[in-house]
Amino acid sequence: MKKNNLFSLQSVYNGRNFLKIISTIIIALVSLVIPLISGCRGPQNIDRTNAELTSLLDTRWTEYSQGRTDIAGGLAIRILSPRGDYFVSAGLDNEATENIHFRAASTTKTFTAAAILLLDQRGKLNIDDRIISNIPGTLSPYIPDTPEYGIPYKEEITISQLLGHRAGVFDVSNSPVPDTVSADYAGKNYVDYIKEDLGQIEHTFTTEELVGIVSEHHLSYFKPGGGYHYSNTGYSMLGKIIERISGMNYASFLKENLLEPNGLNDTTFPSDGNDRGIPVTYAQGFSIINGTLRETTQDNMSAHVAEGNMITTPND
């Protein structure tokens, strides 16, 4: 089975400093790439530009990774421009191409946001509505009126606040559950507790289960609109809103309304606990779990539906 050591953004779940550093690398590359590609015409110039881009990326990646033990793999970038399309990588073997599959982690959120805005555009929701409001034309609220969804300040939260990480929704998959609660997972990351401590690596997490932890223990960062705090769980709730409005599961709605219309044929959103594989050829993925770098290519992403479960390729 072919694989490459691409350091997947899956590590974002436990260390967003990686994103900040990689963003710096990409911004630096873009500032250097524009002059290179702006004058490119013909095969010889494209080959020369590819070589220069590879050299730039190699240099930047070496500066970032040299001497570090908390990262693995490499970095790949796909560039589409009017003067030519380019794929360059650093730290990967020669089999890495623009069609290599990798876990795209929180890039998933851009698709969730696009789906919400598409539904808004179609008049199926209003992003300024509160999540307890009824779906337009129905008697059903955006979020189920059940104990599992009885999170703090539920009556005040709007869809827009969930989109902007300003609803104060406690993030079950990123933040440890406070050690003051009465539960076996107190002081621990709930998702890691289920998979690591209990050994249930194929457990299928549901939105009801994850949001239910927030509700049961009355967890919140602040009142809605009172600040900013990144929240995977907030985006899980947006995924539930998409499903309730469309009558389709999250992956099916995105496939029909976003993926197929845009020719994204190598992008998927696995949601079952036993669907841990990744299509070949693939990049080996890594995560930082409890401060330790681990290889997690074969992984259960059911806890991250609508916020981090996407598999895609640089070409898509």
| Separation in Å, CA 72 to CA 21, 22, 215, 290 | 14, 13, 37, 16
Strand, coil or helix: what is 229?
A: coil
- Residues paired with 86 in a beta bridge: 79
Distance, in Å, from the CA atom of 64 to the CA atom of 81, rounded to the nearest integer, reads: 26
Where residue 83 falls (left for φ over 0; alpha for ψ -120 to 50; beta otherwise) is: alpha
Strand, coil or helix: what is 208?
A: helix
Q: What's the pLDDT at 5?
A: 42
- Residues paired with 141 in a beta bridge: 134
Q: Which fold has domain 107-266+304-310?
A: Beta-lactamase (3.40.710)
Q: What's the pLDDT at 122?
A: 97
Instruction: Kindly give the confidence (pLDDT) of every residue in the chain, 316 residues in length, as a single tens digit, with 9 standing for 90 and above.
Output: 334 444 333 333 333 455 555 665 666 566 555 555 555 555 556 677 778 888 888 888 888 788 877 777 788 888 887 777 888 888 877 678 899 999 999 999 999 999 999 999 999 999 999 999 999 999 999 999 999 999 999 999 999 999 999 999 999 999 999 999 999 999 999 999 999 999 999 999 999 999 999 999 999 999 999 999 999 999 999 999 999 999 999 999 999 999 999 999 999 999 999 999 999 888 888 777 667 777 888 999 999 999 999 999 999 9
Q: Estimate the crossing angle of helix 207-216 against helix 232-246, to 10 degrees.
A: 130
Burial classification of residue 90, based on how many CB atoms lie within 10 Å of its CB (0-12 exposed, 13-18 middle, 19 or more buried): buried
Letter string b/e over residues 259-277, b meaning 16 or more CB atoms within 10 A of that residue's CB: beeeebebbbbbbebebbe
Q: What's the pLDDT at 22?
A: 61
| 301, 171 Cβ separation under 8 angstroms | no
- Residues paired with 76 in a beta bridge: 89
Q: What's the pLDDT at 283?
A: 85
| 87, 75 Cβ separation under 8 angstroms | no
Q: What's the pLDDT at 4?
A: 42
Distance, in Å, from the CA atom of 77 to the CA atom of 87, rounded to the nearest integer, reads: 6
Q: What's the pLDDT at 190?
A: 96
Q: Which residues have C-beta within 8 Å of that of residue 51, sequence separation ≥ 6?
A: none
Q: What's the pLDDT at 290?
A: 67
Q: What's the pLDDT at 64?
A: 79
Where residue 79 falls (left for φ over 0; alpha for ψ -120 to 50; beta otherwise) is: beta
Looking only at the bridges linking them, the beta strands covering 3-4 and 282-283 are: parallel
Strand, coil or helix: what is 4?
A: strand
Q: What's the pLDDT at 78?
A: 86
Cα radius of gyration rounded to whole Å, the chain:
21
Q: What's the pLDDT at 13?
A: 31
Distance, in Å, from the CA atom of 227 to the CA atom of 237, rounded to the nearest integer, reads: 19
What is the C-alpha end-to-end distance of the chain, expressed in Å?
22
Angle 205-234-159 (CA atoms, 0-180°, nearest 5)? Answer: 130
Q: What's the pLDDT at 163?
A: 98
Distance, in Å, from the CA atom of 195 to the CA atom of 3, rounded to the nearest integer, reads: 24
Backbone angles phi, psi at 49, to 5 degrees: -65, -40
